[in-house]
Structure 1
Amino acid sequence: MSDHPEAPAVPVEAFEPPYYVAVFTAVRTPDQSGYSETDARMKELVRDIPGYLGMDYAQSPGGLAITVGYFRDAEALAAWRTDVEHRAAQQRGRAEWYQRYSLHVAKVERSHGFVRTEAPQD
């Protein structure tokens, strides 16, 4: 949803399946007036959704932005999808901030993670 310079250096942890992901991929328009403020507000709102697990984001130098939201169940995802402020932000995004986007929603059936605990050997 943003270039998120404050993004953590680690991805969101692997959760016990099943859970849901919403993958939002976008190319933004040159005029991003008001985007940062709306993005900050959306981050505040989504944290209050019961069943919200976290979010990962990345942006390429060419402007492709990917946001992955993690939700414990379909009800949590539906609560986010239907939130009134989120719906208004979506409309503004289509009118002003996005050149194009796609949204993919999936149920995760398998999940695992890895953390290196020592420096790699040369």
Structure 2
Amino acid sequence: MKKEESLIANTPAPPYYAVIFSSIRTEIDEGYGKMAEEMVNLAEKQPGYLGHESARERLGITVSYWESLESIRNWKMVSEHLFAQRMGREKWYSSYKTRICLVERDYGFEF
């Protein structure tokens, strides 16, 4: 069996931070996919970005990993990200919640 590219972020040893973004979408899809892709590409270029994981069914959950609270604050203030946040509130999300957590321990398993 061929090993697929991992969908699980390869994070460093803790401590580091996780931003958990949980959302419920509206029926409006106009521009959402393109904007989501642009935000991933932009986040990956930000100082302190460590990786992300995302899943969507009825509830969407994206977890991004960062080396510091400062890197999270800086990402939140990037102008393109501010625009995407505004569009999310106005068009794409009926509700969302953001949580910021300190990861103190992690462990896992892979083949």
TM-score, normalising length: structure 2: 0.89
Cα shift at 1:44: 1.4
Cα shift at 1:11: 1.1
Say what the alpha-carbon RMSD is for the aligned residues: 1.3
Where does structure 1 differ by over 3 angstroms across 4 or more consecutive aligned residues? none
Q: Runs of 5+ in structure 2 lacking a partner?
A: none
Change (3 A) 1:52 1:14: closer
Give per-residue Cα distances to partners, 1:11-33, cap 9 Å, x unaligned. 11343111000000000000110
Task: Name the residue aligned to 2:72.
Answer: 77
Task: Name the residue aligned to 1:98.
Answer: 93
Task: Name the residue aligned to 1:12.
Answer: 9
Q: 1:40 aligns with which of 37, 40, 43?
A: 37
Work out the percentage of aligned pairs sharing the same amino acid.
Answer: 36
Q: Max radius of gyration: which structure?
A: 1
Q: Tell me, in whole angstroms, the C-alpha distance in 1 between the residues paired with 2:25 and 2:10.
A: 28
Q: How many residues align?
A: 107
Q: 1:31 aligns with which of 28, 33, 36?
A: 28
Q: Tell me, in whole angstroms, the C-alpha distance in 2 between the residues paired with 1:21 and 1:29.
A: 25
Task: Name the residue aligned to 1:86.
Answer: 81
The one-letter amino acid paired with 2:16 is Y
Give per-residue Cα distances to partners, 1:45-70, cap 9 Å, x unaligned. 1011111011101112xx21000000
TM-score, normalising length: structure 1: 0.82
Q: Tell me, in whole angstroms, the C-alpha distance in 2 between the residues paired with 1:81 and 1:26.
A: 17
